[in-house]
């Protein structure tokens, strides 16, 4: 049992390490964000479907049909969520884009009383306040950012976070469907929905598919999506929910470190303090509420 938990924990850590390098990969891929998101969805879904088939499994048509419209809507939102995140990486630093994206738990906290009828406790309100102060510091309210492109990147990151929050809330309404069934359909729909978007809005003639570009597209679709999601969902059954949530914050930490160490993107002390506020608020918000009941 202990070996199973250890393997699951290592698989989850590996998946977070992969997710944490998406911003770095985006910096070296000279293709439009929509095209990249479409490729990621189609290749990732194909990889996971092949993995399920190789393991002797099948998708549950009944479960997919029962959750049909929610899967379609959430899948479409995932596609545009990826576009917004990739655009954020283009216009601002990887660290800033990632930290803006990790405002999603705050948006979920604010929406939960209306969408899920959950109580907004004092601790959660303090987490929201801390995260909002953190994003103000990271975005340059105190650090003096002035470029229009910088603010565009911040807005793209926050918009991606808002879409991700909507996806999470929609997923909470899914019922009786396996993790792989849900993910394969959602990212497959994400890729498929983006096909007409890409054809109508992006100049595909400007894309030069050199061996390096093709390799990075395959890495984004197969490694950053297929392998990463396989590792992520492969760890779910053996780990408690709070462990999954807390280990999940390795993703932004790795992204911020790579931003500074590999890309040499600057971060002031004010922004660093804001980053700590955002991550601490998100982690504390994930912790279970203390029960007042005596046992």
The reported pLDDT for the residue numbered 290 is 62
For the chain, the residue count is: 295
Query: Residues 254, 43, 41, 260: what is their CA dihedral angle, to the nearest 10 degrees?
Result: 20
Q: Mean pLDDT over all residues of the chain?
A: 86
The reported pLDDT for the residue numbered 144 is 46
pLDDT over 60 at 291, yes or no: no
Average pLDDT over residues 169-184: 90
pLDDT over 80 at 205, yes or no: yes
Helix-helix angle 250-261:94-101, to 10 degrees: 160
The reported pLDDT for the residue numbered 4 is 80
Largest CA distance in the chain: 67
Residue 28 contacts residue 94 (beta carbons within 8 Å): no
- pLDDT tens per residue across span 64-109: 999 999 999 999 999 999 999 999 999 988 988 988 898 887 888 8
Higher pLDDT, residue 53 or 118: 53
The reported pLDDT for the residue numbered 40 is 96
What band does 206 get if pLDDT is binned at 50, 70 and 90? confident
pTM given for the model: 0.85
Angle at Cα 19 formed by Cα 126 and Cα 193, nearest 5°? 95
The reported pLDDT for the residue numbered 26 is 93
162 burial via Cβ count (<10 Å: 0-12, 13-18, 19+): middle
The reported pLDDT for the residue numbered 77 is 96
The reported pLDDT for the residue numbered 268 is 81
Average pLDDT over residues 224-231: 93
pLDDT over 90 at 14, yes or no: yes
The reported pLDDT for the residue numbered 213 is 95
Cα separation, 172 vs 175, in Å, equals: 8
pLDDT over 80 at 2, yes or no: no
- pLDDT tens per residue across span 108-143: 888 878 887 777 788 888 888 888 888 888 766 444
Closest CA to 131 of 286, 293, 281, 25: 281
Highest mean pLDDT among 115-129, 207-221, 255-269: 207-221
The reported pLDDT for the residue numbered 293 is 44
What band does 1 get if pLDDT is binned at 50, 70 and 90? low
Residue 6 contacts residue 233 (beta carbons within 8 Å): no
**Rounded percentage of the chain residues whose pLDDT exceeds 90:** 45
């Amino acid at each position: 049992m202990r070996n199973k938990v250890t393997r699951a924990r290592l698989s989850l850590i590996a998946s977070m390490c992969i997710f944490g390098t998406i911003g770095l990969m985006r910096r070296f891929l000279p293709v439009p964000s929509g095209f990249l998101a479409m490729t990621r969805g189609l290749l990732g879904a194909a990889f996971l479907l092949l993995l399920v088939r190789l393991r002797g499994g099948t998708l549950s048509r009944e479960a997919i049909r029962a959750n049909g419209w929610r899967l379609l809507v959430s899948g479409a939102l995932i596609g545009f969520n990826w576009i917004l995140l990739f655009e954020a990486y283009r216009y601002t630093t990887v660290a800033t884009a990632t930290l803006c994206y990790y405002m999603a738990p705050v948006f979920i906290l604010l929406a939960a009383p209306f969408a899920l009828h959950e109580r907004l406790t004092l601790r959660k309100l303090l987490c929201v306040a801390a995260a909002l102060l953190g994003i103000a510091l990271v975005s340059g309210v105190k650090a003096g950012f002035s470029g229009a492109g910088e603010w565009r990147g911040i807005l793209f990151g926050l918009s991606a976070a808002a879409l991700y929050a909507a996806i999470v809330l929609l997923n909470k309404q899914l019922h009786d469907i396996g993790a792989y069934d849900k993910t394969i359909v959602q990212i497959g729909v994400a890729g498929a929905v983006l096909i007409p978007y890409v054809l109508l809005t992006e100049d595909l003639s400007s894309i030069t598919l050199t061996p390096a570009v093709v390799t990075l597209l395959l890495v984004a679709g197969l490694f950053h999506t297929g392998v990463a999601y396989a590792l992520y969902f492969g760890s779910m059954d053996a780990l408690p929910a709070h462990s999954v949530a807390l280990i999940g914050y390795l993703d932004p930490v790795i992204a911020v470190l790579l931003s500074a160490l590999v890309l040499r993107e600057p971060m002031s002390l004010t922004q660093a303090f804001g980053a700590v506020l955002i991550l601490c608020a998100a982690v504390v918000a994930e912790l279970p509420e203390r029960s007042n009941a005596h046992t």
